Structure 1
Amino acid sequence: MKKLILLFILICNLLASNINFIDVKSKSSINFTNSEQQYLKNKKQITMCVDPDWMPFEKVENGKHIGLASDYIKIIEKSIDIPITLIQTKNWNESIQKAKNRECDIFSMVPMIEERKKYMDFTSSYLDIPMVIATKTDKHFIDNIEYILDKKIGIVKSYSISNILKKQYPNINIVDVESISDGLMQVESGKIFAFIDNLATINYMINKNFLGILKVSGRLGNRLQYRVATRNDEPILNTIFDKIIKNIDVATNEKIFTKWVNSPNKETIVDYALIWQILIVVFLVILIFIYRQYILNKVNHKLHILVDEKTKDLEDINKNLEMLVEEKTKKLIENEKLFAQQSKLVAMGEMIGNIAHQWRQPLSIISTASTGIIMHKKYDLLEEDKLIETCTSINENAQYLSKTIDDFSNFIKGDREKTIFSLKDGINSFLSLVKGTIKSNNISVVLDLQENIKIDGYENELMQCFINIFNNAKDILVEKVEDNRLIFISTFINKDKVIIKIKDNGGGIPEDIINKVFEPYFTTKHQSQGTGLGLHMTYNIIVDGMKGTVEVNNIEYKHDLVKYRGAEFFIVLSLN
């Protein structure tokens, strides 16, 4: 619990970064000198190169320049009354090369670094943004970039931050990527550990394409000031652009930023009650683990006592044979019940593991979404639509967690009450409980379930049968099948009977033991891995409890034109 709360606080502190507008001086008009006016009169057009994939700042879409920088260029174009023509490029590195070759007169939005001063001049800055580190959501927060200098860090090729960091950290392992999208996708695939760019761009891309997959894990001490760059062989062009930039007032800056990044002055509503409920649920799961261990120890203690009592009973067998046989029978029944209970507890333990596995992704989404709301609220950037969308995402994932708890509770409550239930719903509930195991072992479950089949019997006990059969199939698939592990479940009605078939592609059961699999204490596993009661209990539930039949055979079949061999459990129950 303490670790969860500490993690939550670290996320909030990490995201407490800010984006500053440059407070430019407002002028009622722009006074160009005679030489500047003559230059503009002779200049027929101004060519411009941009970063073709750098939203929300700029992008080339269908041949047009869009984004935050495009609005500044429109203001400049209107002020000089000369067309500014876009020179299209495939990536930022190509734009740099065209500027060096004097094919571009200006860059719309760039930081100022020494390397670029060789061929470009720079206006006053109009935007100041911090640089951040993006990683997968399962990575720890990074409070110092020196901790990850040995790992692969992606930066867009020819971006200024690359040169800055190389000077600060000569040993940094920088990987050039083609674009921001390319860099974030390489982080997602694991090709690189992290990606560095400005906060606004990374936040925009994560919310758009990588929500719940990537996160902002740290902030650099570096902040970049963005400017318009002009060719340095025509210095008068820089003087003209600088006057126009300085003439743009704060209100216009804020309006442009709000349009492309987010909307301010929206009230944030954070459902703290829901957050606490999630934390409480996590605490309860930990308690369940502790309670399970306590129960197992208690059962083991009882088993030791039973062994001692059985030894004593054997010593008294000559005194009263008839009484001893009756008493021994009762003891064996109790012992079998205890072993069955232990088997169910082991199944519960596996399901708790499944639940923990299934919760990671929803909890990651909830954490990312909630911290995103806090960050947007802190900087007055939260839109109502975004708030509703994020809260809906949190609620949907919380409902998913609640549904997992309901399925688990229904399984463990153990009420032996005969009811009429939907076979399809029962199978779906069983699959929900073992979903984590299915996913972690790369098993594909192929379903062919007839609708509206109702059974009058013990739903929880039938679910236990499915889990026992599934666990046996899973174990053999993990042991013998490396790829394409398959389990098939089909149901249908034949006259007045319900047929349930469960088969795998694990190669089948050896013919010399297939007739023994339903016998008590018979197992092919190591003693520490199985009690030998799972399939025996399955047989008793179906045959004695539900008056049906169950048998197992090795079969050969084809699926998607591929031939397989495996064991098939054939269950027959009475139709309600």
Structure 2
Amino acid sequence: MYANLGLVDKKIKIADLLDDDYYFNNPNKYTLSHEEQLYLKNNPTLKIHNESNWPPFNFIKNNKPTGFSIDYMNLLASKLGIQVEYISGFTWSEYLEKLKNNEIDVMLNISKTPQREEFFNFTTSYMESIDTVFVKSNVNTFKSLNDFKGKRLAVLKGFYEEELLKKIYPEIKLIFVENSLDGLKKVLFNEVDGFFDNLIVANYFLKNNFITNIKPAFEIKDKNFNLDLRIATNKSNTILRDILEKGKNLITEEELLNLKRKWIDSKKEKFLPEINLTKNEKTYLQKKEIITMCVDPDWEPFEKINKNGEHEGIAADLINLISKKLNIEIKLVPTKTWDETLEFSKNKKCDILSFLNETPKRKEWLSFTIPIFEDPNVIIARNEFQNTKSLLELENRTIAIPKGTAMHEFFEKDFPNLKIIPVDSENEAFSLVENRKVDMTVRSLIIAAYTIQKENLFNLKIVDKPLKYKNQLRIGVLKEETILVNILNKTIKTISKKDQEDIINNHLSIKIPKNNEYLDIFIYTIIFIILITLLITFWNYQLRKRIEIEIKKNNEQQNIMFQQNKQAELGNLIGNISHQWRDSLTKIGYINLNLRARLLQNKEIPQEFLNKSTLEIEKSLDFMSETMQNFLDYYKPSSNIYEFEVYDSIVSALSIIDTKIKNSNLHIEFLGDFDVKIKGIRNEWMQVWINLIINSINISIMRDIKNPQIEIYLSKNEIVFEDNCGKIEEELLEKINEEKYTGIGIKMAKEIANKNNQQMIILNSKKGAIFKFVKQTN
């Protein structure tokens, strides 16, 4: 019968079908019709849409599809005995087009509208939906969609609300956004008057981004809205819709309830644990209404006041969490400096200071909560600074510390041997260390790692970790507000370790590992660093051995003059390479510093950071390897005469003296034909290029040329080096041209040119010297 209907190939034997694993192992063979079973046999994997950012229903976390709708689809697929492939990376509108064009099989969490029914089939709903409009917390003028006529309302682009709002409320000015967080941000920054969204989705974003001053204004009561979430297929694919509907019916109430508990109703989703406040404490908060707060305006990543006058950073998120838990507004009192913040607090212009250490001076006018955050302090200095066992061992050393800070107070008292340089900010302290104006600074480990990474301060390192000076950051409360200290202490105790970790991760991109992962990370990091150290040591050893061997060979060559010149430059060149290697090693050392900082904080190393770090190390090691190889190619004797590209040989020579070039601020510009070739021994010509460039550098230093430059012009007829370092003295130029000049560099260059059928011509230009190599004609 099925063969006659064209549903199966007539050549297939029914016995073969009956033996197929699908029919014997599929749990739903009695639920689905034969036609539906055949459809799934021919389409064992369904392509399902997966959004990037619509939590808690459908989003991506750790590069994996996740959410209520994803779990629901996985459960449904297991009931049907099929596989699913999630398609990610597109917008909602693009997914709608893909379903229209049968490029995907299924869309999840979609609402049914008359317009969509023209293109899609829908299952019954699997999740109820409550639509809400969100506004700023201090706005009370909106009670229904009618109140938004003439106002700006943000809606998700391509979502069903767009279609209905245009039709039913044409007077509302619609502002389209790509995701819920963008919509909430537009409300936050007064770019729109409200945002239309699913209540569960918007609350998820508010909670996870610690946004406290946005609220749901009203539930949409219009019967046209609040459409439930369904599964959709292409209009032509009715059979798949019917299969999915039957699969839905196999999901039990208990299974559905478990999914809702996991994503929506679970303890994990409940935002505020109960705070056991006394009647007096509750009365205090009711009368208080607003708590005023002063902060450090420039203390990233802990806290800062941004250009819009808003409080940002780790402290800001912790304070927002406290505000949410107590259901009271904590209002920022802006200041420009930390000194001004302290003055405002002393003059009772704010009730609390958000994030500071307890010190004897501060206790004169403040009471302190229990610690809200802990972080060790470290001593930061330049790479050449020797590590010390105790700061008391140091004499006449300078240390930059932001004035008015706890460390400023402690160090003045405990280290009379150090000269303390008060500064206005963290960045100023780091800048003074980097530029050798002071020897060191003391800062929080998190701030040190953050600043070194942000500002690329690869020449700084941690030289000490004084355990006595650990940051125990607290909230400072005016002494008159004793009851507020008790309230805040109770609230701080309800902040879980996970809450803190999430906030830190949000600002530092650091994940917290499970205990059993920490040891693995530590072991792999140590092994990694040891391997790098061994590799560098081995290369240094190989370099020394190769140099010794090459010197011995070179001394046996007939042309002893060239080797003497090389040996004369050997110390300089090795020193130059060591500087270049130091830059690469500093980068590797910085990565090690960052790893240490994370490990000291008991943090996991994220995979993305490891990938980026290993790539950076690989690039640094490749550079070191290439530099060493260029040096060895240059230094080893060779009698191989062949045609080589002039440009490449000059670039190889430049890599050997790269640091010298950078330190002299020399600019080199290539002109002409970069494919020009010359015949000869390549490393001899490299010696010529190095001599000419070093000669220009030395003259520029001697004559104090501010912006030294060399133009290198390449053509088939000539190779020209022209600098701007001033003319060669006429008497000296005459000696050079009459072969009376005894300088080994110029003499060697001329002899190399002559033996390779090139004439070296030296003359003056208006701005400097010209060294020209012209092919000799017979």
- Range of TM-score over shorter length: 0.7 to 0.9
Q: Distance in 1 between matches of 2:572 and 2:436?
A: 29
Give the aligned residue type for 1:234. E
2:111 maps to which residue?
A: none
Q: Kindly name which structure, 1 or 2, has the bigger radius of gyration based on alpha carbons.
A: 2
2:718 maps to which residue?
A: 499
2:751 maps to which residue?
A: 540
Indicate which of 24, 32, 41 corresponds to 2:286: 41
| Partner-residue secondary structure (3-state), 2:454 | helix
TM-fit CA distance, 1:45: 1.0
| Partner-residue secondary structure (3-state), 1:512 | helix
Indicate which of 30, 39, 58 corresponds to 2:275: 30
Indicate which of 514, 520, 543 corresponds to 2:733: 514
Give the TM-score of the pair, scaled to structure 1: 0.78
TM-fit CA distance, 1:359: 1.3
Q: Distance in 1 between matches of 2:732 and 2:475?
A: 80
The percent identity for this pair of structures is: 28
TM-fit CA distance, 1:404: 0.2
Give the aligned residue type for 1:161. M
Q: Distance in 1 between matches of 2:579 and 2:498?
A: 49
2:295 maps to which residue?
A: 50
Give the aligned residue type for 2:303. E
| Partner-residue secondary structure (3-state), 1:69 | helix
Give the paired residue count.
492
Deviations 1:337-394 (A, max 9, x none): 2233212332344322221122111112112313432453462332212222221211
- Contact 1:408-1:433 at 8 Å conserved across structures: yes
Indicate which of 384, 391, 396 corresponds to 1:150: 396
Q: Distance in 2 between matches of 1:179 and 1:73?
A: 22
Indicate which of 670, 674, 682 corresponds to 1:451: 674
Deviations 1:316-356 (A, max 9, x none): xxxxxxxxxxxxxxxxx95xx22332123323443222211
Q: How does 1:323-338 map to 2 (within 5 A)?
A: 337-338=559-560
TM-fit CA distance, 1:82: 1.7
TM-fit CA distance, 1:441: 4.3
Deviations 1:231-283 (A, max 9, x none): 11222222221221223334433443444442122663443434321121123
TM-fit CA distance, 1:426: 1.6
Instruction: Rate the CA distance shift 1:291–1:176 in 2: closer, same or farther, 3 A.
Output: farther
1:572 maps to which residue?
A: 774
2:650 maps to which residue?
A: 427
- Contact 2:501-2:511 at 8 Å conserved across structures: no
Q: Distance in 1 between matches of 2:481 and 2:339?
A: 23
Q: Distance in 1 between matches of 2:505 and 2:359?
A: 27
1:7 maps to which residue?
A: none
Q: Distance in 2 between matches of 1:46 and 1:381?
A: 36
- Contact 2:398-2:439 at 8 Å conserved across structures: yes
- Contact 1:53-1:91 at 8 Å conserved across structures: yes
Instruction: Rate the CA distance shift 1:454–1:287 in 2: closer, same or farther, 3 A.
Output: closer
- Contact 1:152-1:194 at 8 Å conserved across structures: yes
Q: Distance in 2 between matches of 1:521 and 1:472?
A: 18
Correspondence 1:216 to 2:474: no
Instruction: Rate the CA distance shift 1:108–1:461 in 2: closer, same or farther, 3 A.
Output: same
1:339 maps to which residue?
A: 561
Q: Tell me how large the CA RMSD over aligned residues is.
A: 2.8
Deviations 1:386-407 (A, max 9, x none): 2222212111111110110121
Q: How does 1:68-87 map to 2 (within 5 A)?
A: 68-87=314-333
TM-fit CA distance, 1:211: 4.1
TM-fit CA distance, 1:574: 7.6
Correspondence 1:233 to 2:452: no
TM-fit CA distance, 1:104: 0.8
Q: Distance in 1 between matches of 2:412 and 2:579?
A: 40
TM-fit CA distance, 1:506: 4.2
Instruction: Rate the CA distance shift 1:124–1:281 in 2: closer, same or farther, 3 A.
Output: same
- Contact 1:487-1:502 at 8 Å conserved across structures: no
Correspondence 1:59 to 2:282: no
Correspondence 1:137 to 2:383: yes
2:511 maps to which residue?
A: 263
Indicate which of 593, 597, 603 corresponds to 1:380: 603
- Contact 1:134-1:195 at 8 Å conserved across structures: yes
Instruction: Rate the CA distance shift 1:386–1:240 in 2: closer, same or farther, 3 A.
Output: same
2:538 maps to which residue?
A: 280
Q: Distance in 1 between matches of 2:334 and 2:404?
A: 17
Q: Distance in 2 between matches of 1:520 and 1:352?
A: 31
Unpaired runs of 5+ residues, structure 1, are: 1-26, 303-332, 524-531, 557-563
